[in-house]
Amino acid sequence: MSNNNQYDMLIVGSGPAGQKAALHAAQSGSRVALIEKTRELGGSCVHRGTIPSKTLRENALRVKNMRMNAELANFELPEDVELATLINRLNDVLLAHDTYMRRQLERSSVELIHGRARFISSTEIEVITVAGEKFSLTGECIVIACGSHPHHPDNIAIDHEHLFDSDSVLSMMYLPKSLIVLGGGVIASEYASIFQALGVEVTMIDKYPLPLGFLDSDLTETFVNGFKHMGGTWLGETVVTRAYWNGFDAVIAETEDGRQIKGEKLLCAAGRIANVKELGIENANLKLNDRGLISVDENLQTNILGIYAAGDVIGPPSLASASMEQGRRAACNALDMPPGIMHNIIPTGIYSIPELSSVGLSETQAREQYGRVLVGVARFDEIARGQISGIQNGMLKIVCDPAGKKVLGVMIVGEGATELIHIGQMALLSDARVDLFVESIFNFPTLAEAYRAAALDIVHQRKKL
Amino acid sequence: MTAPNRLPDRLLPLQAAILEQINAHHIDVPMLPEVAGKVVRLTQDVDSDASELATLIQSDQTLAAHVMRIANSALYSPNSSLVSLQQASARLGMKLISEIALAASINSSLFNTPGYEEHIQYEIRCSLMTGLWAKEIARVSRRNVEAAFITGLLHAIGRPIAVQTALKVAAESNTTLDTAEVLALEDKFQRQIGVQVVEQWEMPRLVVDVVRFFDCYNDAGAARNQTMIAIAAEAFTHHFMSEQGDNNCISREELVSQVVLAELNLYRDEVLELLEKQDLVKSAMEAMTA
Ligand SMILES: Cc1cc2nc3c(=O)[nH]c(=O)nc-3n(C[C@H](O)[C@H](O)[C@H](O)COP(=O)(O)OP(=O)(O)OC[C@H]3O[C@@H](n4cnc5c(N)ncnc54)[C@H](O)[C@@H]3O)c2cc1C
C-alpha cells in the first residue's frame, strides 16, 4: 500500500459490485483502494453463493441424468457420499477465479487492502486488519459495496451443524438422507431442487401458496411439479413456528397448524440482510431504510454527497449480474463519467432444477399495467429439441401488449432457460415486435425455436382481435 | 513437560530404529476399542437408527456408564436425573454419543507407557479440549462443524504412541532415557506415527489429512481449512491448559495474535467472542471426563 492515504475513490467490499466499481474507476486514471475484510476476493457471489451452488448443481444434473438413463447405466449414488466430492471442482474454480480477479485488479493498479472498513466520517474510513492494526484512509468519494448475509429468524436455532443457512450449507460433511428447506425464494428453490436431484428427500416449506412469487404461477407450478416429480415435497401456506435439533437424531420443524416435520438437516433461506453492522455508517451520517438497506437515488448516490452504494447492500434485485452493473455505474457517477443508458431490463436467472428465467414484465404485471395482453406459449415437449433431449416440463412464454405487437416480457422454465432468456432480452432492449421471432430462422433443432412457436401463438391470437 | 530443541547424539541409533519401524509400518497401533469403532460407524451410517445405537451402548458397560454420567451432567440435564439409557441416548443424540465413545476409548489405558501415564493423561485431555474448541471455531467461521471435533480430538494421537514406541525401542536396546529425551523423541516422531494411527483406524480422509498436514497446513489442499481449525483449537487449548500449570499457558495476547487465526480470517473481536464460549467448553469437558 502507498504511504499516502488519500484516494480518489475508496471502495468497501470486493464482491461483484465493488470489483467492477474499482476496475472502472482505476481504468479511468483514478487512484483507487479496494478494502475487503476476507482473505479472498469475490464476495459471497464467489465463495458462499453463486459459484459454489452452481458447482454443486452441475453434479446434481449429472446424477439426475444418469438416473434418468437407467437403461444405459444402472446408476445409484452411494449412500454416504461426502458433499465435498460433489463440489469437487470448486477449489479449482475458485482458485482460477481468484487469480484472475487479483491479476485484473493489480493490472489496473487498484490497491487491495485486506481489512475491515468502518466509517470515521463521510470522507474517512478506518481499516482494521485481521492482526488488529488500525489505519485510516480518505477518499474523494466512497462506494459501499459490502453485500449481504443470511437472515436468521429468532425461532430457527441455526448451529451450522444440523440447521444451516445458505452460507454454511455446503460445509455439511455428508449428503443427508433428508433435508427441510425453509423459504420459497430463489436460494431456497435452487438448493431444494438441487438436493432433491441428488436423491435427498427434500421438504420445502413456505408461508405462500407457491414458491418464487414474483413469477407467474404457471411457471412456478411447472417448477413445483418438476420438483415433486423428482420426489420432493412442497408444503405451501405453512408457517413454521420453531425449528430445532432434537438432540438425538433429527431436526424438527414445528408448524402453526401443529405438525412436526422431521429431517436429518435443515436449510433456512429466509432472506438476506445488508452487511452494515461493522460499517459504522452513522459516523458518515448515513441512515438505513426500514428494510435495513442503504437507500440510493437513480445515480446510486446515498443521502450523503460523495457516498455511493451498489449491490446487495441497496436491496433487490440482489443478483451478481445486476450488482456488477450497479458497481460500474456508481463509479461512473462518482467520477462524473457518463455511465451510458441504464436498462432496467435485467433478466432474473434461477438455477433450480429445472431452471427458470424471466425478463421484462410477467403476465401478471403486464395485466396490471395494460389490462388485456396477448400471451404466447410454447411447450418444450412440442419442440423437436425438447423431445430429443427429454425436456418435458419446460415452457416459454412471451407477453405482448394488447395489440399483440410489442414484446413486454419473456419467461422460461426448463433446462437452458438462463441462456435462452437473452434472446428475449435483446428483443426487449431493441423494442422489437413479436413478429421478429416469426420472421427469423432459428437453428433446428434447438430450444430457441420455442420463441418462434410462442410468437406464432401470439400472431394467431392477433388475427382474431 | 518441555522437550529440548535438539536430540543428543547418543539418541541417533534410537532415532534410526524408530524411523525404521515407522517406514516398515511396524508401529504398535492400539486397536480402537471395538465398541468405539462401531459407534463411529453407526453414527455415520445414514441407514442406522437410534435403537441400534442404544443396543450397542448397552452391550458395553463402560460406555453405558459414561453415557449415563454425561447425560446426567449439569450441561445436558440441569433439572432431572435420568435413569433410562434409552432416554439418555435420546437426550445426547447420535453424534454426541459417537464423540463420547471415541473420546472415552482414547484413554491412557490404551497405551503402554509406564512412568508416563500422567503425561499421556494430560495430552488426552488436551486433545479432547482441542476437539471441543474446534467445533466452536468451525461454527464461527462457517466451516465443517461435523468434522471439527474428530479432527481436533485425533490431531495429536501420534503422541502417546510415539512415547510408547520410544520406550519400547529404548528397552530393546538397553538404553535408559530421561524424561526430556522421551519427550524429544515424542515431538520428533508423533506426526508420522499419528498418520499411521488414523490410517490404520480407517478414519475419514479428512482426519488423516489434518494429522498429516498439521505442521504445514498450506500443503493440505482441500483439508486446509479444517487443519487450520484444529491448529487454532490447539492454541485455544494451550491458553487454558499447560502441563506445567496455569502460569505456562499461552496468554490471551499470544492467543489472539496467532497467525492461524488471522489466516482463518478471524478478527480480534471475533476471537474474543469465541473466548466467551470457555464456560461451555469447560462444562462439556467436565461432562465428558467425569
Ligand atoms: C446461494 C446463493 C446463490 C446465488 N446465485 C446467484 C446466481 O446464480 N446469479 C446471480 O446473479 N446472483 C446470485 N446470487 C446473488 C449474488 O451472490 C449477490 O447478489 C452478489 O454477490 C452481491 O454482490 P455484492 O458485491 O453486492 O456483495 P457480496 O458479493 O456480498 O460482496 C461483499 C463483500 O464485502 C465485504 N465486506 C462486507 N463488509 C465489509 C467491511 N466492513 N469491510 C470490508 N469488506 C467488507 C464482504 O466480505 C464481501 O466480500 C446468489 C447468492 C447466494 C447466497
CA distance B131 to chain A (A): 15
Are the Cβ atoms of A116 and B267 closer than 8 angstroms? Answer: yes
Does residue B5 carry a pLDDT above 60? no
Question: What pLDDT score was predicted for residue B94?
Answer: 72
C-alpha to C-alpha distances, A201 to A83, A221, A266, B65, B102, nearest whole angstrom: 15, 20, 11, 36, 30
CA distance A378 to A260: 41
Confidence class for position B82, pLDDT limits 50, 70, 90: low
Which tens digits make up the pLDDT trace of A321-353?
999 999 999 999 999 988 877 667 889 999 999
Residue A138: HSE in the Cβ half-sphere, 13 Å Cα cutoff: 6
Mutation for B interface: A77, A118, A171, A198, most B CBs within 10 A: A171
Are the Cβ atoms of A128 and B91 closer than 8 angstroms? Answer: no
Helix, strand or coil, per DSSP, at residue B36: helix
Does residue A99 carry a pLDDT above 50? yes
Q: Which amino acid is at A214?
A: F
Q: Which of A12, A50, A282, A313 to mutate to test the pocket of ligand 1 (most atoms within 8 A of CB)?
A: A50
Residue A162, ligand 1, Cβ within 6 A = no
Contacts of A35 in chain B (CB under 8 A): none
> Which B residues 265-284 touch A at CB under 8 Å?
265-268
Tell how far CA A368 is from the center of its chain. 26
Q: Which amino acid is at A213?
A: G
Residue among A171, A245, A249 minimizing CB distance to B142: A171
* A172 close contact with B: CB closer than 8 A: yes
* A124 close contact with B: CB closer than 8 A: no
Does residue A1 carry a pLDDT above 50? no
Q: How much is the average pLDDT of B136-162?
A: 91
Which tens digits make up the pLDDT trace of A11-47?
999 999 999 999 999 999 999 999 999 998 999 888 8
Q: What is the mean pLDDT of chain A?
A: 92
Helical H runs in A2-140? 16-27, 43-47, 50-68, 83-86, 90-107
| Residue % of chain B over a pLDDT of 90 | 50
C-alpha angle A419-A91-A162 in degrees, rounded to nearest 5: 90
Question: What pLDDT score was predicted for residue A241?
Answer: 97
Question: What pLDDT score was predicted for residue A73?
Answer: 66
CA distance A165 to A143: 28
- Asked if residues A24 and A11 have their Cβ atoms less than 8 Å apart, the reply is no
Residue A150, ligand 1, Cβ within 6 A = no
Contacts of B262 in chain A (CB under 8 A): 130-131
Mutation for B interface: A169, A249, A251, most B CBs within 10 A: A249
Contacts of B256 in chain A (CB under 8 A): 132
Which tens digits make up the pLDDT trace of A60-87?
988 888 877 766 666 777 766 778 788 8
Question: What pLDDT score was predicted for residue B290?
Answer: 66
Are the Cβ atoms of B91 and A159 closer than 8 angstroms? Answer: no
- Asked if residues A246 and A216 have their Cβ atoms less than 8 Å apart, the reply is no
* B75 close contact with A: CB closer than 8 A: no
Question: What pLDDT score was predicted for residue A342?
Answer: 65
Which residues touch A436 (CB under 8 Å, ≥6 apart)?
A427, A455
* A131 close contact with B: CB closer than 8 A: yes
Q: How far is the CA of A89 from the centre of ligand 1 (A)?
A: 21
Contacts of A167 in chain B (CB under 8 A): 142
Which tens digits make up the pLDDT trace of B93-109?
777 787 888 887 887 78
Q: How much is the average pLDDT of A377-386?
A: 89
Which tens digits make up the pLDDT trace of A223-281?
999 999 999 999 999 999 999 988 767 899 999 999 999 999 999 999 999 999 999 99
Strands A395-400 and A407-413: what pairing? antiparallel
CA distance B110 to B210: 22
Does residue A2 carry a pLDDT above 60? no
Q: Long-range contacts: B252-257, Cβ < 8 Å, 24+? A: B256/A132, B257/A131, B257/A132
Helix, strand or coil, per DSSP, at residue A111: strand
Which tens digits make up the pLDDT trace of B268-289?
999 999 999 999 999 888 887 7
Q: Which of B159, B288, B148, B123 is nearest to B231 (CA)?
A: B148
Question: What pLDDT score was predicted for residue B81?
Answer: 65
Residue among B44, B204, B222 minimizing CB distance to A91: B222
The CB density around residue A150, as the number of other CB atoms within 10 Å, is 22
Question: What pLDDT score was predicted for residue B46?
Answer: 62
> Which A residues 151-170 touch B at CB under 8 Å?
159-161, 167-168
DSSP assignment of A215-282 equals S-HHHHHHHHHHHHHTT-EEE-S--EEEEEE-SSS-EEEEETTS-EEEESEEEE---EEES-TTT-GG
Question: What pLDDT score was predicted for residue B219?
Answer: 95
Which tens digits make up the pLDDT trace of B222-236?
899 999 999 999 999
Which tens digits make up the pLDDT trace of A162-217?
999 999 999 887 888 899 999 999 999 999 999 999 999 999 999 999 999 999 99
Residue A184, ligand 1, Cβ within 6 A = no
Residue A311 CA, closest ligand 1 atom number: 26
A-B interface: how many C-beta pairs under 8 angstroms?
Answer: 79
Residue among A79, A130, A160 minimizing CB distance to B139: A160
CA distance A398 to A358: 10
Q: Which of A426, A427, A417, A411 is nearest to A447 (CA)?
A: A417
Residue among B47, B89, B267 minimizing CB distance to A79: B47
C-alpha angle A359-A360-A363 in degrees, rounded to nearest 5: 100
Q: Which of A127, A125, A128 is nearest to A138 (CA)?
A: A125
Q: Of the ranges A382-386, A454-458, B91-95, which is most confident?
A: A454-458
